[in-house]
Amino acid sequence: MRVRMFTAWVDESGSDMRRDPGTYMLSAALVENGKEEGARAAMQALLLPGQKKLHWRDDASRHALIVEAIAALGVEHFVVVHCAPDIDIRPERQRRLCLGRLVPELAELGVTRVIAESRGRADDRRDAQAVEHLRQSRRLSGPFHIDHARGPFDPLLWVPDACCGVITRHRCGDSTHYEKLSTQITMCEVES
């Protein structure tokens, strides 16, 4: 019996500040090891001439096409949302709270490696420290590693970016795209 192993590509987003204030999310696209290149090629094919990175915010007229392509990948998505509209909380704190839920959940699903979109050396180091803290507090065991990559260099990072966009629209009342991916998305909220 073959054990399926997965790598998760992770991106972050804030929600619509006017319609969904204080909301931060981390989205993970789980790709079975060995199937990455086909998924990369499918995402790369969505680029327009001269475009270096597919970004949900920059491609509003192509949202339906992007969602169809992502649905066809057949990957699972795990999204963690933190919403604190009534308190002043820094996005870095929200990220740590979301990572604290996301990482153990991914490990339970068979993920051994996360590739998160890089936010710069200092922020990437904070992510690694958050994972190490989970390990020291015994909320994470076994093999698990987090790496970072710049968005334009790995098309698989465009998948969780788009998923964040889909979730934002869903939270703001437009579930058109969410309905196409809903069977592939597991979403949970964390509290402060």
In tens, the pLDDT along 86-97 reads: 778 888 999 999
Name the average pLDDT for the chain. 94
Angle between helices 121-136 and 91-108 (to 10 degrees): 50
Of 22, 28, 7, the residue nearest 184 (C-alpha):
28
pLDDT score recorded for residue 2: 61
Domain 6-190 class?
Answer: alpha beta
Q: Which amino acid is at 118?
A: S
Domains of the chain: which residue ranges? 6-190
Give residue-wise pLDDT tens across range 97-137. 999 999 999 999 989 999 999 999 999 999 999 999 999 99
Query: Do residues 156 and 33 touch, judged by C-beta distance below 8 A?
Result: no
Q: How far apart are CA 47 and CA 178, in angstroms?
A: 22
Distance CA 182, CA 77 (A): 9
